[in-house]
Structure 1
Amino acid sequence: MPVIQIDAGTMSREKKAELIKNLTDAASSTLNIPVQAFTVLIRENSMDNIGSGGKPLSELHK
């Protein structure tokens, strides 16, 4: 069973569903494995817990 893992900022339930579908479809098509074989794990992180360029994303996206 292939597992797709992604770390991201917080998102709506609808966005998570869209992301899961799109990631699964792309991996299935690329690897020629049925979509039913895939598991997708989304780890949501607060913008305070993610940094870029030495600053928390919460500061960069004010």
Structure 2
Amino acid sequence: MPHIVFDGPELSKEKKKELIKNFTDTASKVTNIPKEAFVVMIKENDLENIGVGGELLSEKK
């Protein structure tokens, strides 16, 4: 079973559904593996839990 992991910002339920559908459709088309075989995981990160350049992303302008 192929796995696709998206590690990014918090998304609405509708955006998650769209992302999962698009990842699955594209990966299935490219690999010729049935859509039913794919597992998509979304890992949401709060901007207060991410640092870039030594600063919290939530505090960058």
Please tell me the TM-score bracket, short chain as reference.
0.7 to 0.9
What letter matches 1:15 in structure 2? K
Alignment of 1:42-57 (within 5 A): 42-57=42-57
Partners of 2:53 and 2:29 lie apart in 1 by 35
Question: What is the percentage of aligned positions where both structures have the same residue?
Answer: 56
Number of aligned pairs? 61
Q: TM-score under structure 1 normalisation?
A: 0.85
Specify every segment of 5 or more residues in structure 1 that has no aligned partner in the other structure, as ranges: none
Equivalent residues in 2 for 1:12-51 (5 A)?
A: 12-51=12-51
Report the alpha carbon displacement of residue 58 of structure 1 after superposing the two structures with TM: 1.2
- Root-mean-square deviation (CA, aligned residues, Å) is 1.3
